[in-house]
Amino acid sequence: MTLREWQELGEERLARHLVFDVVKSRRRSPRTGVEIGFFLVKTPDWVNVVALTHDEHLVLVRQYRAGTRSFSLEIPGGLIDRHETDPSQAAARELREETGYVAERIVPIGTMTPNPAIFTNRCHTYLATGCSRVGELQMDSGEDIVVELVHRSQLDDLVRRGAIDHALVLAAFAFWRAHEQR
């Protein structure tokens, strides 16, 4: 069987938030001809940052996540602002705002689709090396963040124990490993 594009029949915005829209998108299956409604979240692209200090510590953030009603150990990241023409700008900004750290070097290591079934955006992953603390955090009003430094040798244990379980963070670590093996 050959897969073909689904015909787009239209969209209806159901909700608008500061950083995303929820839309109902109508599409027609090329195989069956049946019209199907899909609920999509339209949002700008995201960035996340695997940040390493000179002494091989990962710069992690712990913050409350309403979806799971729990605190999550993650890497810095967030939305690419409208004025940022290059995702690396957003990566450097998010690293500085969420951790107080800046990097000597930031390189792209991968791009992913967070959940292509419902999200329309992509997440760009960067490796930031030579990170050093230059100031205080610059949190948004909806962020309460604590920075935690973890030596890279402890990462596998944190993942194995489920202490790090955010899917985009785990994917970023996979990109990092693949980048290091090149």
Whole-number pLDDT of residue 1: 84
Longest dimension (CA), the chain: 58
Alpha carbon distance 33, 26 (integer Å): 12
Taking only the tens place, the pLDDT of each residue in 138-170 is: 988 888 999 999 999 999 999 999 999 999 999
Strand 21-28 and strand 7-16: pairing? antiparallel
* 152 CB-near residues (< 8 Å, 6+ apart): 52, 56, 57, 58
- Same domain, residue pair 32 and 92: no
- Same domain, residue pair 91 and 159: yes
- Same domain, residue pair 22 and 109: no
- Same domain, residue pair 161 and 135: yes
Let me know if residue 34 belongs to a domain: yes
Show the domain range for 124: 46-180
Of the chain, the percentage scoring pLDDT greater than 70 comes to: 100
What is the C-alpha end-to-end distance of the chain, expressed in Å? 36
- Same domain, residue pair 97 and 33: no
Let me know if residue 115 belongs to a domain: yes
Taking only the tens place, the pLDDT of each residue in 62-109 is: 999 999 999 999 999 999 999 999 999 999 999 999 999 999 999 999
Whole-number pLDDT of residue 143: 87
pTM: 0.94
Residue 52 has pLDDT above 90, yes or no: yes
Please report the sign of the dihedral spanned by the C-alpha atoms of residue 145, residue 147, residue 152, residue 154: negative
Let me know if residue 2 belongs to a domain: no
Q: How far is CA 57 from CA 49, 52, 54, 167, in A?
A: 13, 5, 7, 21
Alpha carbon distance 135, 99 (integer Å): 9
Residue 175 has pLDDT above 90, yes or no: yes
Mean pLDDT of 127-136: 97
Torsion of CA 169, 171, 177, 179, to 10 degrees: -110
Number of domains in the chain: 2
- Same domain, residue pair 11 and 72: no
pLDDT, the chain, mean: 96
- Same domain, residue pair 87 and 149: yes
- Same domain, residue pair 140 and 162: yes
- CATH, residue 159: 3.90.79.10
